[in-house]
Structure 1
Amino acid sequence: MNRAAVSASSPSSLGRRSFLGIGLGAGAALALTACGGGSGASGGGAGSSVLKWGWSLPTSWDPVFSSAGWDVHALSLVYAGLTKLDPHGTAVPALASSWTYDTQGTRLTFTLRPGLKFSDGAPLDAAAVKKSLERGISDPKSLVAPQLTSVKAVSAPDPATVVIDLTHADYQIPNLLAGKTGMIVNPAAFTADAAGIAAKPAGAGPFTLTSYTQNAKAVLRRNPGYWDAGSIKLGGFELYPLPDASTVVAALQSGQYNVAQIPGSQVQAAKAAGLEVQVIPSMVVATLDVDSAKAPFDKPEVVEALKYAIDREALVKTQEFGNGEATYQPFPKGYAGYDASSANLFPYNPAKAKDLLAQAGYSGGLDITLTTATAQGVPEQIQAQLKQVGINAKIEVIPQTQFTQIVYIEHDQQLAVDQFAGRDSAVQAFQVLFGEQGLMNPGRSTPPELTAALNKVTGTPLDSADYPKVLQAATAFAVRNTPNVFLYTVPRILARAKNVSALPQTTVVQRFEGVTVG
């Protein structure tokens, strides 16, 4: 029998979910050649309205080399994958109308929709999908290659069929391909000028980039050739960096943006200003990332002391103004990987933290460096909490444009404040957080028992009754036996002008199907 067969008319019933950042550098303005026929303000019944979103610009417009999980939101505007995630994080058809596994779970066959095109009008067929996926696997500098290690070969037996042969049963692939890992890049672009894709995306998404000023602004227009163009009601899109918290409400009132991410501290001000506010549950979790290869965190007792020394409830109240929940694990309540037995795993206990430090030989306290990209707020509050147990933390601020490189690629810091924004596949999330090559695992150490647990997760069909139990067992082991310190959930808080319709409540990636601007 074929397992996990999915089609456009019969979506999968799987229940899953989907992210960090360095900048592109200098602020040169780039004029991009318009791709694809027709005006973004017309065709397919779309209006001429433009949505101006204060959120974030990507570290690269090339999904293979994008280094920030947050980039998926911007990249989803210009790229499409074989699958996408529904509001609950379930893989459903996108460029592929259906897919099916063989009985062993080692061969996955996708059927493409007819008539697909890239935004420049070039055909998007199975051969193009094959070349794009192979680039992500084989490029020496690919940042998505670690997610595709189970792929043995990609073939295109005919223009409408893509076959992925796997080294072992891996039922996570449809979810995995819904994010950056599976975004299809036009082979003509990376054959002619691969480096140029960093500033000039070549995809088949709902919008096409028409101009771009690095670190300042991206202007996009509707792509009438997008496979689901009928759902895109906006004529254009403008994307901006995250607005300053102190000015974001005024910027929304003035029309500089008509949708923007706001911190919890600005929710009441936004409502008082007549703006609509949506608090959307997300996969984002605030974290302390620990390099267990560096002293003093090479001693397990110090890591455990750190987990008991943090008053998470106080952080939620002060930093998120009550938006979010204290947590000890990477998955939110309601997600298949959420482990109820870990709900109160390391409650705030300064006395226990001091005892653990004493066991590690630090009864007189110790000095550490706490790295952050933001000088105020969370780092300062954590610094004060650690001081109560004898940990003197010196705050070192690294510019956001260098943070990922220094902390996660060079592994040059012992402890860092950050956020983990989830991944499209649960196993991918584990690999990023706990894998030996995981970006947010600076110590590069993985217990063999966790590897075995993840192999069991990978080999369990997502629609199996056993899947949640197997995944939760992996979560329970990971949060008890790895140095990662999870703090609290961070919902996506978006304020919008009243003439902007409600935004889809999508957990993983913010989508804009059906959104209009009056």
Structure 2
Amino acid sequence: MNRATVSSSLPSSPSRRSFLGLGLGAGAALALAACGSSKGASGGTGTGSSVLKWGWALPTSWDPVFSSAGWDVHTLSLVYAGLTKLDPHGAAVPALASAWKYNADGTRVTFTLRPGLKFSDGAALDATAVKKSLDRGRTDPKSLVAPQLTSVKAVSAPDPTTVVIDLTHADYQLPNLLAGKTGMVVNPAAFTTNAAGLASKPAGSGPFTLTSYTQNAKAVLRRNPTYWDAAAIKLSGVEVYPLPDASTVVAALQSGQYNVAQIPGSQVEAAKAAGLEVQVIPSMVVATLDVNSSKAPFDNPKVVEALKYAIDREALLKTQAFGHGEVSYQPFPKGYAGYDPNSANLFPYDPDKAKELLAQAGHAGGLDVTLTTAVAQGEPEQIQAQLKKVGINAKIEVIPQAQFTQIIYIQHDRQVAVDQFAGRDSAVQAFQVLFGEEGLMNPGRTTPPELTAAVDKVTRTPLDSPDYPTVLQAATATAVRSTPNVFLYTVPRILARTKSVSALPEFTVVQRFEGVSVG
């Protein structure tokens, strides 16, 4: 494959891609005017009246520019499309754009739009609309995607089907980056007239259109017949509900409240016994301990290293995830280009070594820390017990999920927190979030210079270059050896479904529903 050009006829190739929740606050029922019935909206080859009832999660905002949780990408992908999308392995492939091409030095990329594109309200989706949407994302003072677009110098639309993005430096990650929230194209008619309204009434060109929304309760969507790949959408609609309670999710699936739902590892056997189909889909999510290296005692590298050896990851995986997933010492799972085999067993459980390192750091008699979490029981308590064995006395502090991001990642005033990280659409974006000086999940706000250099090299390496996996893995190796982040185990996406629902596509990064039907 020519590294400069990608088209819809090219095969997919592995190259790749969050979870930070922040509540919207008190909500009210928001009624949205529906444009016709579900039956009439089906249209095309995806006719029918099959509705998927998905027990999953509702977004922090329906506006991708102000969505504050990476996890939102799953629901936002129902109503928005981007120039690209990610294939099952996480590589960028054509979506609204049928092809793209870089110039010789990687400082300009030209996207060619498919002809006749429309937003869900029927308005034309042309290059000018794409330009306005991207410019809003990178220039709005309160944009949460702007940090990912700092390499973009200018966006232009020389003709209706051509979008040209000029870059400040070579950046071959852009096609992957634009496949997620950062690149979702928002109808300019919406944000120029009522930008605040996008929080509850999205205006995109995705496979579905939101018709009604009750905050924290339910979102109802109907099939969008003008979606660029409408022929692949067999469902007439989707209903999205908040994450089901673990103790009742199987019964809710049996009763028909949902016909697809996320379930924890603890419910897999019960779901199977109830006659439900269960798919365990590999994902980019990894359980973590986020360590603030600007706070004592973790400003001492030896204490950080002791922490990494003090954790029995196998025990956590077995108890907390019922064995669903794999022990991990890095942010990327096996099978992803950034997975570094040489870091596969980097910090094995070794309490004696942890004690030795603590003694070297001047804490032979032990030390006290505060372990912050949004979950009162379970994993924090198990980690607390493991740390006690090496002389680290951890006091558990529980804070509300809605305040977690603000306290841990904005105020930066906690020592160590229990969390999860679910990657990003591009590997460089993941590095920025986890390890960058302004990275949201880097509470210490420091980045080793050797890691900065390694990530810069990744940015400047074309995704289809034979050197790309080696360069990316080298950056991963540098990151996990030079930063305080403690990775624990991978967290697959576990979805149970009734037998009336066909098999779900197994996309690593974002759950998609092309080809899915409900009988």
Equivalent position of 1:500 in the other structure: 501
Aligned mates of 2:11, 2:197 — CA distance in 1 = 36
Q: Counterparts in 2 of 1:71-150, with a 5 A limit? A: 71-150=72-151
Aligned-partner Cα distance in 1 for 2:374–2:188: 36
- Can you list the C-alpha shifts for 1:461-481, whole angstroms capped at 9, x where unaligned? 111111011001100000000
1:254 maps to what in 2? 255
**Number of the residue aligned with 1:328:** 329
* Residue of structure 2 equivalent to 1:33: 33
Question: Which residue identity does 2:465 align to in structure 1?
Answer: S
CA distance in 1: counterparts of 2:496 and 2:373, whole angstroms: 26
Judge conservation of contact 2:39–2:49 (CA < 8 Å) in 1: no
CA distance in 1, matches of 2:38, 2:369: 58
Cα shift at 1:11: 4.4
Q: Does 1:298 align with 2:295?
A: no
Q: Deviations over 1:204-262 (max 9, x none)?
A: 10111111111111111111111111111111111011111111101111111110000
Alignment partners' CA distance in 2, 1:398 and 1:17: 28
Q: Which residue of 2 aligns with 1:442?
A: 443
CA contact (8 A) 2:18 2:421 kept: no
- The C-alpha deviation readout for 1:399-440, integer Å capped at 9, x for no partner, is 222212221222232111111001110101101100111111
Q: Which runs of 5+ in 1 are unaligned?
A: none
TM-superposed CA distance for 1:30, in Å, is 0.1
Per-residue deviation, residues 261-287 of structure 1 (Å, max 9, x unmatched):
001110000000000000001111000
Are the structure 2 counterparts of residues 109 and 37 from structure 1 closer, same or farther at C-alpha, using a change threshold of 3 Å?
farther
TM-score (normalised: structure 2): 0.98
**What is the CA–CA distance in structure 1 between the aligned matches of 2:61 and 2:413, rounded to whole Å?**
23
The Cα of 1:506 is off from its aligned counterpart by 0.5
Matched-pair contact (CA < 8 Å) for 1:19–1:72: no
- What is the number of equivalent residue pairs in this alignment? 518
d(CA) in 1 for partners of 2:383 and 2:38? 53
SS at the partner of 1:97?
strand
Of the structure 1 ranges 389-398 and 430-439, higher mean CA displacement relative to structure 2 is found in: 389-398
Q: What residue number does 2:8 align with?
A: 8
The change in CA–CA distance for 1:31 and 1:476 in structure 2 (over 3 A counts) is same
Q: Provide the secondary structure at the position in 2 that maps to 1:267.
A: helix
Distance in 1 (alpha carbons) for counterparts of 2:413 and 2:56? 28
TM-fit CA distance, 1:3: 3.4
Q: Secondary structure at the match of 2:440?
A: coil
With normalisation by structure 1, the TM-score equals 0.98
Is 1:472 the equivalent of 2:476?
no
CA-to-aligned-CA distance 1:368-388 (integer Å, 9 cap, x gap): 111111111111110110111
Give the Cα separation in 1 of the matches to 2:85 and 2:396: 40
What aligned pairs does 1:21-420 form with structure 2 within 5 A after superposition? 21-34=21-34, 42-45=42-45, 46-420=47-421
Tell me the residue number matched to 1:431: 432
Q: Which moved more, 1:2-11 or 1:293-302?
A: 2-11
Q: In the aligned structure 1, how far is the partner of 2:14 from the partner of 2:292?
A: 34
**SS of 2:431's equivalent?**
helix
Deviation at 1:34, TM superposition (A): 2.9
**Cα distance, 1:37–1:84 mapped onto 2, change above 3 Å:** farther
Partners of 1:42 and 1:467 lie apart in 2 by: 42
CA contact (8 A) 1:500 1:517 kept: yes
1:162-220 CA-partner distances (Å, limit 9, x unpaired): 00011111110000000001000111111111111111111110111111111111111
Deviation (angstroms), 1:306 = 0.7
Conserved 8 A contact 1:57-1:215 = yes
Which sections of structure 2, spanning at least 5 residues, go unmatched? none
CA contact (8 A) 1:36 1:223 kept: no
Q: CA 1:453/1:355 → structure 2, altered by over 3 Å: closer, same or farther?
A: same
The change in CA–CA distance for 1:195 and 1:109 in structure 2 (over 3 A counts) is same
Asked if 1 retains the 8 angstrom alpha-carbon contact of 2:56 and 2:240, the reply is yes
Distance in 2 separating the partners of 1:264 and 1:236? 28
- Amino acid of the structure 1 residue aligned with 2:16: R
| Cα separation, 2, equivalents of 1:374 and 1:348 | 24
* Cα distance between partner residues in 1 of 2:501 and 2:310: 43
CA distance in 2, matches of 1:65, 1:393: 35
1:89-136 per-residue CA deviation (whole Å, 9 max, x = no partner) reads 111100001101111111100000111111111111000100110111
Q: Secondary structure of the equivalent of 2:42?
A: coil
Are the equivalent residues in 2 in contact too, given 1:369–1:415 (CA < 8 A)? yes
1:65 and 1:315 mapped to 2: Cα distance? 34
Equivalents in 1 of 2:498, 2:490: separation in Å?
Answer: 26
SS in structure 1 at match of 2:163: strand
Distance 1:162 1:14, change over 3 A: farther
* Superposition CA RMSD, Å: 1.5
Q: Which amino acid aligns with 2:22?
A: I
Q: Which amino acid aligns with 1:97?
A: S
**Partners of 1:122 and 1:410 in 2: CA distance:** 42
